[in-house]
Amino acid sequence: MKNTLLSWRSSITPQTATKNNDAAFIKTPDIYQKKQLAVWQVEVAELKPKIEEIRSSVNANFDKLLEARKAKPDKVNAEVLEFKKLNGNGKQKIIQNEKRLVSVENDKDKAVFTLVAKTKLSTFSYIELETAVNIANFVLGGISVKVNEKNVRLGSAEATYEQKGFYAKDSLNLKNKEKGWAIAGGTSVEQTAWFKLAKPVQLKPEDQFEITLSFESKHKKHILKAFKIKAGSGSLTTEDLLVSELINKNQIDLDNEEKAKVVEFLMKKSVGAKVVARHAELSKKVKSFKPATTPIMQDLPKDKRRVTRIFNRGSWEDLGDVVTEGVPEIFNEFKDEWPRNRLGMAK
């Protein structure tokens, strides 16, 4: 049996050798990125006491700040849409009354609505979907928008109420119709969802847009049958639109979770807004931090090492003698106590 440096390929595993759950590589994080993460973490820790101080101040003056926001709300421009066409798959009756409430008569298990409208808005940045009161639950498995038959990408979503596991943002994923906005436990009152465009669209008076609502989940007859749709413009995020809706509620009607959202919003508008923004930015970076890694090949366990043979004349079909770990004779003596691997080679 011959010893050769080349035989060490039998003791290390290539990147593709993972069928037996071998850990092919040890992934070591980039040291400079780890240092950057540590810097961010230190700054987040330093900002935390200031953030708590701002939060305490907002809570202490909550009533006063809330009334101030109500007196000077953020500027938004929204219009309840009047649809020129209301289409559904199959034999469904879809009508819109004088108050622009859309009603659906449908006895099918699933439905897709396509609604076509024009608007007086010159800029279009979000869709607002408002349910009627005391409706049956539904699963909005998808929502899509086209302007002049061209797809418009939706970027984010928020809602006044969301059933656990069925969130408004899930409606943006058109590939998974089983998930989407649902409101079990909150059907007795009006609920609203906002779907923000990835970027605003400029509109001309003759432009028309098409909104498609999909209710095709495995939950039979979970179809929204009474609703209004608004088109809106403005720079507010979907989160801000949600909080603006909450601010208009009576304080006594806010639950703890809703009040916490309003507090976070008011913190962003306080004298400490820059500190809050910096803390949020760094916290997001720390949470989403995924360092680049350097793959380092590691030794296979002894019971998984492969037999390595010489390829006669370089042909893998003509195998010669078995070779084991070693070094050419021209090298210095390889001591017996050294491991027969790259670490031993380094010595």
Tell me the three state secondary structure of residue 272. Answer: coil
Structural domains in the chain, CATH included, are 1-14+30-73+272-347 (no CATH), 77-235 (2.60.120)
For residue 25, what pLDDT is reported?
59
| Burial class of residue 116, CB neighbours in 10 A (0-12, 13-18, 19+) | middle
Residues of the chain where predicted confidence (pLDDT) is lower than 50:
1, 5-10, 12-23
pLDDT in tens, 265-277: 899 989 999 999 9
Query: Residue 209: its pLDDT value, please?
Result: 86
Q: Give pLDDT, residue 227.
A: 95
pLDDT for the residue 47: 96
- 293 - beta bridge partners? 29
Per-residue pLDDT tens digits for 104-121: 887 788 999 999 998 889
Q: What is the pLDDT of residue 251?
A: 72
For residue 279, the SS3 value is: helix
Q: What is the pLDDT of residue 6?
A: 44
Q: Is 63 exposed, middle or buried (0-12, 13-18, 19+ CB in 10 A)?
A: exposed
